[in-house]
Structure 1
Amino acid sequence: MIELYYWPTPNGHKITIFLEEAGLPYSIHPVDIGAGDQFKPEFLAFSPNNKMPAIIDRAPVDGGAPISVFESGAILQYLAGKTGRFLPADPRARIEATEWLFWQMAGLGPMTGQYGHFHVYAPDDIAYAKDRYRREVLRLLGVLDGRLEGRAFVAGDEYSIADMAIHPWINPYTKAPLDLSGFTHLNRWQADVAARPAVQRAYALAEQYGAQREMTAEMRKHLFGTPTP
């Protein structure tokens, strides 16, 4: 059994997508990041960076003590190793999937997160920051669009953890949507992944957990720290 510490964010969706695709039994422990659950000592004991998602595998393949994993990319790699699925066996294809997983973790995720912060959540309208992150996200999406030309999935013909990691980060901010009309290959791939039943089940969990709420001062403190007056 996989215990998943989860909230319906793009990083949270990555792990539910894998678990639904693989059919692994799992239970969800909600980590309400707006309420500060990520700072509770019992969560920090295995997720010291106070970020979700994190997992505890109560039945690791070696039959030993439970294994905990934090960081969404590390979790995807761990689960792929546990199941032998969604990471190609061929070493050349495997490194390609790993490259694009790291590309998401180091580039698309952080840059898109900053785009969302300055367009949706920042208390001040900072034009330079908004323009800087908009341009960088569009640049990265252009890189992805070029990669997907002539390929069914990011790593080639095989659907992999790279697709699972990237998909939730494509245009996730409904209050500040990006115009993706020019990204032909990206849009085709995005629709194909979104049509997968397991992906739809994973995204549907957002309706069960983390109802949309208006941002309060307390939530802002938990999510971003207390802004400097």
Structure 2
Amino acid sequence: MLSEQRRFLLDYVVREFEDYLGPVSNSWLRNPVKRAILRQFLCGGEYNIADMAVYSWYGQLVLTGLYESKEFLQVDSYAHLLRGASEVHNRPAVKRGRKINRASKSGLMERHTASDFDHLESR
């Protein structure tokens, strides 16, 4: 009896989902790669908080091959992902941000004012 109730519940949930969200979800899920290729950034044509939030980990994995991820994930086969990561990576604010807390000559150990970057450029 319990299995019949589960089957009924599962059938009900699936049916309701298909009736309510079926047309939307099917068109949305059909071509995720195609949608990604058409977008400049993660959530559309403008740089936004989603790109900022995920760049710190996916940018390092995709562009620098951190933890030998380029080979394991076969990153080179995802041209749209490389393009998007490169666009974020090459933004002026991201370039400045990557220099903070770096001990190298091209980095800043601490940043207190915007003029700290001016001193960095003159080195």
More RCO (CA 8 Å, sep 6+): 1
> TM (normalized to structure 2)?
0.46
> TM (normalized to structure 1)?
0.26
More helix by share: 2
More strand by share: 1
